[in-house]
């Protein structure tokens, strides 16, 4: 008897699954019929929707959110991530536009999930024009244009007092 949580809805029922053969399962603990389908799929051919980001050539939007527009085999997730790590988007895309057709031969598209690469959104991005991928990826936050134009040695994390001044909220000290 295998135990697994159903992820088909937020209830997250704990399923007890007994497998008698391919596609032949007995399920207990499911709150609805979908739990049986989930248990069957999970024990024979688990599938997942992949949500991730790809790089772009646009300095204002160096990474861009994407997802598969359907489920792909769980065993192909790593292969798909490797394929997507080589993708660099170089054209304007809007929500739902195709980034990759037929990812890892699954028959499923990878689509954009943001409008951040449309002309209007890109002009509104707060990041400096001279930002490089490494600038953003290495520090994990957007630097202001002023910080980007100064030497990287000059950059330091804001201390509690700076944050207090900037946010207008008192910093809670322990
Ligand atoms: S078995 Fe039904 S109710 Fe329970 S988590 Fe799955 S989908 Fe939701």
Ligand 1: nearest atom to the Cα of 7: 5
What percentage of the chain's residues is helix, strand, coil (to nearest 5)? 30, 25, 45
Would the CB of 30 count as within 6 Å of ligand 1?
A: yes
Q: Which helix (H) or strand (E) holds 121?
A: helix 119-124
CB 107 within 8 A of CB 100: no
Pocket lining: 7 vs ligand 1, CB cutoff 6 Å: no
Q: Is this structure's pTM higher than 0.85?
A: no
pLDDT at 78 over 50: yes
Question: Strand, coil or helix: what is 109?
Answer: coil
Summarize the confidence of residues 130-148 as an average pLDDT: 40
What's the start-to-end Cα distance of the chain, in Å? 49
We find that the CATH architecture of domain 51-124 is: Roll (3.10)
Could you state, in order of their start, the residue ranges of all structural domains in the chain?
A: 2-45, 51-124, 133-167
Whole-number pLDDT of residue 159: 56
């Amino acid at each position: 008897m295998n135990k697994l949580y159903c992820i088909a809805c937020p209830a997250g029922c704990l399923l007890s699954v007994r497998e008698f053969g391919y596609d032949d399962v007995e399920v207990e603990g499911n709150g609805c019929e979908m739990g049986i389908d989930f248990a069957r799929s999970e024990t024979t051919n688990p599938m997942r929707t992949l949500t991730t980001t790809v790089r772009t050539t646009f300095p204002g939007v160096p990474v861009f959110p994407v997802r598969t527009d359907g489920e792909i085999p769980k065993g192909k997730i790593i292969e798909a991530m490797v394929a997507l790590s080589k993708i660099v988007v170089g054209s304007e895309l809007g929500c739902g536009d195709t980034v990759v057709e037929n990812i890892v031969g699954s028959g499923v598209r990878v689509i954009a999930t943001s409008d951040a690469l449309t002309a209007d959104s890109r002009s509104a991005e707060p990041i400096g024009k001279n930002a490089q991928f490494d600038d953003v990826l290495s520090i994990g936050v957007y630097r202001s244009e002023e910080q980007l134009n100064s030497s990287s040695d000059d950059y330091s994390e804001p201390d509690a007092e700076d944050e207090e001044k900037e946010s207008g909220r008192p910093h809670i000290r322990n």
